[in-house]
Structure 1
């Protein structure tokens, strides 16, 4: 019995899933491209640490957080199949979504993801934003170091987020339910 040949995207995805990246590097599959990122710099990690500490301390709902959880985003449209690793991923503790999850888990039940810009900020600003929205992730928090701002994207629909709030570093930004908290950004300025 003959097998149908794999499409170019299927071949790339197969190659991506077989990758063995050097220690500390992240490999992602975004819109048909294999993206390998070097370890982040200290400022990047400090920014994400500030966010994670505040969400842990202030969130109205008990949340689990991971800084290395692979998400398999499978929706139609511009992002048919993507494998991404957000800088931080939050899920309700009661859902126990990280427990027993495969290395690449579905995005269903994820409450929020966060990215801090680094070597290719346009990927975080545009490409990943659309992929997260298409996957139905309710909240996407972007700390944009180059622009000196924090943006919260919410209400995913129509291939993007419908609600966008951007505040410069030094100003507060409100994170809605289930977090129901104010994120302080003075440490970023």
Structure 2
């Protein structure tokens, strides 16, 4: 095989990314590209949405600064090797309103200035508990709030270490116990409504 005919090691990743970006999913479904795998999830059930509604209300009422919130914004996150960049859609993306982070943003945006991402577990818990946690840490997202319906816990991950591809600190409580959200939120999140 000559250098002219040798396959480009990035072709596989490019083809995967192009196929992913052209993928049509049924209404309500989410398609994400996580660690080189296309993941399609069905619309969430009512308990999932009820938890997000409670979280959104508390942040809106109690946060020390006004926060912008999106439950549909896709983030493009760094990825090494031959795989294309991760394309994830968190259950919630939050940033201080004064940044106007979502203004003019397309379907996919970089995570710059994002303060916190939130996931509520549903059918594929391993994705939220591990794969997405590592993606968010690699991208340097300051806070990842994981609301685990199956374990009935809320975990706030912080202090991302991009080289370790994980968060160095975590605070975990059972449903019903408060969990402190740091500034710019600056309040104790009441998880009783998640039960």
- TM-score bin, normalised by smaller chain: over 0.9
- The match for 2:75 among 71, 77, 93 is 71
Describe how 1:12-51 pairs up with structure 2 within 5 A: 12-51=16-55
- The match for 2:181 among 146, 154, 175 is 175
How does the TM-score come out when normalised to structure 1?
A: 0.94
CA deviation vs aligned residue, 1:94-153 (integer Å, no higher than 9, x gap) = 111100001100001000000000010011000000100111110100000000100000
Structure 1 residue 49: Cα displacement:
1.0
Structure 1 residue 80: Cα displacement:
6.0
**Cα contact 1:172–1:185 (8 A) shared by 2:** yes
SS of structure 2 residue aligned to 1:13: helix
SS of structure 2 residue aligned to 1:17: helix
> How far, CA to CA, are the matches of 1:8 and 1:63 in structure 2?
39
What's the RMSD between the two structures over aligned residues?
1.8
- The match for 2:160 among 156, 159, 165 is 156
How does the TM-score come out when normalised to structure 2?
A: 0.91
1:188 and 2:194 aligned = yes
Describe how 1:82-93 pairs up with structure 2 within 5 A: 82-93=86-97
Larger Rg: 2
SS of structure 2 residue aligned to 1:72: strand
SS of structure 2 residue aligned to 1:21: coil
Identify the range of structure 1 (69-78 vs 104-113) with the bigger mean alpha-carbon deviation: 69-78
Structure 1 residue 74: Cα displacement:
1.7
Change beyond 3 A, Cα 1:174–1:77: farther
**Runs of 4 or more off by more than 3 Å in structure 1?**
2-6, 75-80
> How far, CA to CA, are the matches of 1:46 and 1:22 in structure 2?
23
- The match for 1:141 among 134, 140, 145 is 145
